[in-house]
Structure formats: C-alpha cells, structure tokens
Amino acid sequence: MAHRFTHRNLPQQLLKARDALMTHFRPVLNHYGLTEQQWRILRALDEHAQLEPREICALCQILSSSMAGILARMEETGLVQRSRIEADQRRLLISLAPKGDALIDHMAPLIELQYQYLEQAFGKHALEALSSALEGFIDAQAKPVARVALPPITSL
C-alpha cells in the first residue's frame, strides 16, 4: 500500500518526546505526591509570582474545565492560595502558599540535578538547541498560516 502522507507526524513526535523527557522527572514528582499538572502550575507560579487562572491555563496547557478542580485540591493541600483582585472582586489571583514555596525549595535541587544528568547524557548543546527550536516554533505561531478548506462530509 502506498503511503498517503509525505510529512512526518509532528504532533505524535512531540508527544513521544514529551513523554520521554518526563520519564526523567516523574520519579521526583511521584516522590512528592504531585501530578504533572500540579507541577506545571507550581513551576509557573514560581516563575511569575501570581497569576489569574486563565493565565495559568495558557502557560501550563491545562483546560479551563479542569483548572478549577486542580486549583481547589492544591488550595486544600496548602500548595497555593487565592486572593481577589481589589479593583475587580470577580477576578482571582493564584500564588504559592508557604507550603508550596517550601516544596519547590525541596524539589528545585533535584529537578536541576536531573537537568544536569540530561545534559551529561545528551549534551548541553543538544538540549539548548531543542529548547531554542521549540521556542522558535512557538513564537512563529504569531504568523498567519493558511488552513485547508474542509470539504462537505459525505458518507464514507
């Protein structure tokens, strides 16, 4: 059978690469009882101090329908805290709670050491090149890209 596609399945490759990378970090997250989503939120809050839930969704690639439950559980366990924006009481700001901040203090050296091990295994240049390529691809999304015209659906 002839191949119907000439381009590689880039979304599948990205998923496989992400999963391969996360195998190096999951043991640390599991040791501290965190999900990957919770870790992404903690890391974003560590980098940005405080964020609105919609900003966390965008930064952490978490659907808004899941965010409320995740944040509620993280608040219950003392990892994050919520506060209202004075100028608009309908809006919330999320920040690290003292327990979340302390958790990052414990985890950061382990995460950084794991990155050093990755650099030793794959080369610092290779990881920097990968990061730069991904940043470039993400930044390029600001450029308009034509989309295929979809045909009417007929019975297959």
The reported pTM is 0.86
Q: What is the pLDDT along the chain (156 residues), one digit of tens a residue?
A: 778 888 889 999 999 999 999 999 999 999 999 999 999 999 999 999 999 999 999 999 999 999 999 999 999 999 999 998 777 767 889 999 999 999 999 999 999 999 999 999 999 999 999 999 999 999 988 888 899 999 888 876
pLDDT the model gives residue 18: 94
pLDDT the model gives residue 149: 92
pLDDT the model gives residue 156: 67
pLDDT the model gives residue 145: 87
Which is nearest to 66 in space by CA: 76, 78, 57? 57
Cα–Cα distance, 52 to 56 (Å, whole number) = 6
pLDDT the model gives residue 115: 96
Cα–Cα distance, 24 to 127 (Å, whole number) = 14
Cα–Cα distance, 20 to 40 (Å, whole number) = 17
Cα–Cα distance, 62 to 40 (Å, whole number) = 9
pLDDT the model gives residue 119: 96
